[in-house]
Structure formats: C-alpha cells, structure tokens
Chains A and B, each alone.
Chain A
Amino acid sequence: MRIPPLPLPWRRLASDRRLLVEVFAFANLAFLTLDIYVAHSVNAFRHPAEWVPFVFCLAGAAALGVGLVLALRARREGERVPSERISFERGAMRWIGLVVGAGAVVVGVAGLILHLESQFFQYQTLRTLIYSAPFVAPLAFTGVGFLLLLDRLVPPESVEWGQWIAFLALAGFVGNFGLTLADHAQNGFFHATEWIPVVSAALAVGYLTVAVGWPQNRAYLRLGWIVLGLQVAVGLLGFVLHLMPSVAETASGLLRDRIVYGAPVFAPLLFPNLALLAGIGLWDLAAKVGPEATVLSAP
C-alpha cells in the first residue's frame, strides 16, 4: 500500500529543522506547565517561589505559541507577509524567542539553586541524595531556553547548529540517567525493570557523546536511529508501567493523589522527547557532513 504524501505545509515544516526546534521548545514549555504543577503539588506549593516556573511556563508557552502562529500563517500567505514577522533573525519572533529563552535559562538556574536547599546538602549522605528534591530537574528549563537562544544565535547552515542540538539532547540524557538512577533507587530497584531506563539512558549518553564530538561519520550517525528508537520504546514502556499502579482497580485513594504521589507518570516521556530532539540534531548533522552533505539555506 502506498502511503499518501504529507500535505505541503507539513512537508515544509518537517524539512525546516529550525522551525521544528521551535515547535519542540513550545511543546516542552507547554507540557512543563502540567509537569511542574504535579511536581510542586507534592508539597502543596509550600514555598511561594514554586509558583514561578508554573507561571513562567504558561506565559512563555503562550508567547511562543503566538510566534509560531505568526510564522505558520506567514508561510501559508507566502510573499504577502513582511519577512521580519517570520524571521528568526529579526522582528517579533526573534525577540519573543530571545526573551522567553533567556527567561527559561534564568528560571532553570534559579530552580537549581533553590533545590539545593534540599536535605542532601544539609546531610550529604547517599540516602538524602536519593530522597532529595531533584536539583537537576529545573535544568530542563535551562535546556529549553538554550534551544530557543541557539535557534536564533547559531547560523542554521553550520555543522555547529546540529552539534548544539545533539549536545543539548545529550545533556538531557545525562540528566535522565541520573534521575532514573535516583528515582528508582528510592524503592530499591524493587522491580528489575527499573534498571531498563538506566541502561537505556547510559547507551544514549555513550552514543551521543561520540556523535556530538566526532560528527563526521555518516554510518555512525545512521546507527543513531536504532539507539533513539530504543529510547522511544523505553519511554513508552515506562509511561505504561508508571501509569498502571495509579489506574489499577486495586489502587486506593483519589486518582489525583495517586498521580501526584505515585510513580511520576510523565517522567518516562522524557525519553521519547529527548530522542526527538536528538533525532533533529542527528538529522541535521547527517545532512551536513560526509560526501553527501547538503548545506541548508536559512529560511
């Protein structure tokens, strides 16, 4: 059976990796709104500062959404729209991205510092490290912020652009490795399946380190689809395994409480999320390196 081709706007979007990264950043900020709400509900937003990332996500995602709508409408209308309205180099879309990106970096670093007040830094034991507030987690904001900044500040035709994208995905997988290790250590790796994401994240880190550092080998870059495919599968499996105890018929308590205080339902989705980002980076690198390389022009 022949698969029908994508409509033209979607094909354009899929071929514009810069815009894909923008959509990725928007989707992540929007989803972080829900994730932050659940995470900070664990201690009922005890400190007023815990509302800051939640509000920032809402406002940032809304602003980026406006920028994206402008860009997509401009594409549809072609030459009739002034170019500065859709440019990453000039105009509203550039400044929205720079402001939201810089803000996300600040929120992420501030979150890291505030999470350092956790009990681990008071007692500095393995146990308190495992049960501490996840001080690495706010760096998700910093990662999204850097994505928005590099999308505007790094020349899209350069190899460096793809390297940066893959590097940020690599940093995300390093975080995933640490977080899955700490989170699953909280219940002592009671189920053997809890080791799967640790191993999977380690593979992604090993693979992406080489891909970012030495991106010239196209065969190696193609191998990435297997590694990233594994991350997607692991993430979806984790999502199901985390969700099952909360929706099981034998589960007690309110569904909201089970989701807030149970296994973090959305956390495993970081794997396919980062795999998507890494995929964009590898796709870009594969297009720019080796004998078949093609240099993309700026939109």
Chain B
Amino acid sequence: MSTFRAVFIAVVLATALIVAALLVNYERPALDVERPTAEAVAATGRCATCHRQETPAIVVEYEASRHALVGTSCLDCHGTREGQEAVDHRGFELSAEVTALNCDQCHATQYDQFLRSRHAAPAYAAIEGAEPFTAEQVAFSERYHPGAVARTPNTLAHLEGEAAITAGCVSCHKIGQPNDDGSIGSCTSCHARHITSMELARLPRTCGQCHMGPDHSQIEIYEESKHGILFDAQRNEMNLRADPLRLTTSDMPVPTCATCHMSGLGGLGVTHDTSERLSYWLFAAVSERRPTYVQAQDNMKAVCGNCHSSSHTDAFYAEAEAVLESTNERVLAAEAIMDRLYDAGVLTATPFDEPIEFTYFDYWHYWGRTAKHGAFMGGADFVQWHGNYELLAQFVEIKAHAEELLSAHANSSPAPPLATPGE
C-alpha cells in the first residue's frame, strides 16, 4: 500500500469518528447541555447515577415532575443561594437545607404572596411567638396580620412540652418557620419534595393533613359538603395538573380547597396568599371582620360565581354570618362567666391549671370554630351537631361548674345565678 493511500484511509477513518462524535453530541437535548456552569450540566444526570441506587424513589418522583419536563436540574434547587450554608457533596456544592429561598429564585411572585399569608410567619409564631423571627420579619408580617407574630409563645403548647411541640405542633406550623438563610417557610409542605406537584397542592387531602380535627376541621367539613362529594365522584375526570394561569372550569368543574382560596378561575388572579379571599378571622374566639372584608368577600363570591347565582351566594353568606354572630354571642357569654371567675379570685391567673379553663377552651376552640367553619363551608352537620349542639351543652356545663365554684368560694353565701345567652 502506498503511503498516500495509507494516510488517506487513516484520515477518512479519523474524520468519520469525529463527525460521529459531533452528531451524537448534537442529538443531546438543549436542556441537558445549555446551562450556565459545567456543574449544572453534569447535575442533570450524574446525581441520578448514585441516587437511583441509594434513594431510588426520589429519582422516580423527580422524573414524574414538571420540573423534569422543563429541564430543572437537581443543582437548580439544591445549589446554594446567598445566605445559605454550603456543603460539599461528592464534587458538588449544595445548600445544607433546601428552603423557600431556593424556590423563590424561579417562583418569586408565589413566594411573595405566600409571605403575606397566614401560612407564613403567623403560622409558626402561633407556637413559638416572635422570638425566632428577625425584627424585619415581625414588622413585615404585622402589616398584614396585626398581633399574629408580635406575640408570646403558645401557652398551651408549651405546657404540653417540647416533645409534643416538635412531633406535633411544628409538623404543621413549620410551614411558616424562619430559615437560617433569612427566608420563611417550606413550599414542600404542600407541594412535596422532588415531585414538586401542583396536582398534590390542589388535592383536598393535602390541605387536610393540617386542617383537620376538632379545632380546624376543614377537611371533615369539606368531605361532608356537596363540594367534597362531587370531588369524590368526578376526581378522575378532572385535570388537576392544569396550568394555573390557564385554569378553567373545564379542568376543575368541582372546587377543591385550592380552587376557592387560591386558583385563578373566572378571571381572578392566582394567589399563594390563602388569606386574600377570607372576610372574617374565623379562628378567633370571637370572630371579627378582617380589614379587607369587602374586597375579600367579593373575591370569594367571584369564585362562587362559576357555579352559583349571586342571589344564592348572597343568601349563603347571610346564613353563614348569622351563624357567626350567634356563635360570637355564645362565646361572649361564656367569656363573661370566665371573666367573673377570674375577677372573683375563684380562678388563678395561671392558664390551664383548672378544669373549667379546658372546658372553656374547648368551647370556643373546638365547637365555636367548628360551627363557624361549617357555616362558611357548607357543612350542615358541623354547624349543628358538631357545633351548636356542643356549644349549648358545654355552656350548661360551664355555667353549672362556675356556679359551684362561686358557691364554694363564697363559703356560706349562695352565688347569684349566671346569665344564659338569649335570656
């Protein structure tokens, strides 16, 4: 073979290999290769090589997520942002903790809305008070929820002890926990990690993981309501993955918690401020109108308008407000009895050290709240049997107990009779 022929064949072979290499690389999706750093490119696949063995479920969850579909890499969420502690993990620099700050880099609007909501600082301050928060965080939250963060820690929770707080209260209230990086909260409370699912956040059961039980029995009320029953029946026909900005009643003809409180149906703006459409402080012992009462109620009624006529909605609100007023009246009456016991020195100033204090707490915290929530969420049984019936029965008990205490306190002289609401 001549030297020229040998060189020619060698060059053709080498060129063919190089072209093949370029073609293979060209076939890679742009999402895989067009990233700002070499580490970010590598993270699209290298993390999975270990985690598919070590923690396979999180890889499966991520691959089923919308994040995977739009090419968000592991490093996009697990990378560090300013203020976050960095840890070295097998050649990658990762944030020691993934917080709302990491979500904020792409979902800033949603995070800002969340910060204004009661899900943010007020949720955690309800247990731990203002101490864990910075002065700026307290001041910010007080603009939207006066007294909700600039407050003392929860007395009852701290009487129950740290173990109960950590494994109990905080499991839900950490949705508004301050993070070391200066952010507040964790988006994964509703969206979960790795699947980071919008569908999950729209499921009533997701809200129900915290909004349940006698003190905030929203999930039980929803499940009893026509809304909940329709959801059960039509769940499989609904498109819970629909884009929030393009959501229509074709996607979700039946309301879930997110539909009424957050979604953008009927031209309403989508919001992560779950307080925006609430017109009363229903959680309070005696519920008052929120400062945004008119706007909030108009917003909520606009959602109702996707299914109900305005006259039906107005009537519904009128009935609910009537329940609210009667509940307030009952609670105020019980409160007056308690005040009298404190004023007379029958009860000590120390909270939760006498049985009647627990009875009174259950009175408004369980049955009062349940009656009001039932009224505003279409849960008839919760208005009546789980709400007003209990209020009636417990009032009798509180009253009788208070009379006994007053009599005993006065020694020989009988106590004057106590008033009953409506008398």
Interface residues of B (CB under 8 A from A): 1-3, 6-7, 9-15, 17-18, 21, 24-25, 27-28, 32-35, 37-39, 41-42, 44-46, 48-50, 52-53, 86, 88, 90-93
The answer to whether A121 has its CB under 8 Å from any CB of chain B is no
Contact A207 B14 (CB under 8 A): yes
Contact A177 B17 (CB under 8 A): yes
21 A-B contact pairs sorted by A residue (CB < 8 Å): A43-B50, A46-B53, A119-B52, A130-B28, A131-B46, A132-B49, A133-B49, A177-B17, A186-B42, A189-B25, A190-B38, A202-B15, A202-B18, A205-B14, A206-B17, A217-B1, A217-B3, A217-B6, A220-B7, A257-B90, A260-B90
| Contact A252 to B32, CB < 8 A, known contacts A186-B45, A206-B14 | no
Q: For residue B14, which residues in chain A have a CB less than 8 angstroms away from its CB?
A: 202-203, 205-207
Contact A206 B13 (CB under 8 A): yes
What distance in Å separates the Cβ of A264 from its nearest Cβ neighbour in chain B? 11
Contact A181 B24 (CB under 8 A): yes
Q: For residue B24, which residues in chain A have a CB less than 8 angstroms away from its CB?
A: 126, 181, 185
The answer to whether A209 has its CB under 8 Å from any CB of chain B is yes
Q: Closest 10 interchain pairs by CB?
A: A261-B91, A206-B14, A253-B88, A188-B33, A206-B13, A131-B45, A190-B38, A202-B17, A188-B41, A187-B38
Q: For residue B48, which residues in chain A have a CB less than 8 angstroms away from its CB?
A: 119, 131
The answer to whether A3 has its CB under 8 Å from any CB of chain B is no
Closest to A204 in B: B14
Interface string of A80-100 (1 = CB under 8 A from B): 000000000000000000000
Residue in A119, A177, A188, A207 whose beta carbon sits within 8 Å of that of B28 in the complex: A188
The answer to whether A9 has its CB under 8 Å from any CB of chain B is no
Count residues of chain A with CB under 8 A from any CB of chain B. Answer: 46
* Chain A 119-167 residues near chain B, CB threshold 8 A: 119, 126-128, 130-133
* Chain A 180-211 residues near chain B, CB threshold 8 A: 181, 185-191, 198-199, 201-203, 205-207, 209-211
Give Cα A177 to B44, complex, Å: 23
| Contact A209 to B10, CB < 8 A, known contacts A127-B32, A187-B41, A191-B38 | yes
Contact A126 B9 (CB under 8 A): no
What distance in Å separates the Cβ of B93 from its nearest Cβ neighbour in chain A? 6
Contact B52 A199 (CB under 8 A): no
What distance in Å separates the Cβ of A67 from its nearest Cβ neighbour in chain B? 37
- Identify the interface centre among B2, B12, B25, B35: most chain A CB within 10 Å of its CB: B25
Residue in B6, B28, B53, B91 whose beta carbon sits within 8 Å of that of A220 in the complex: B6
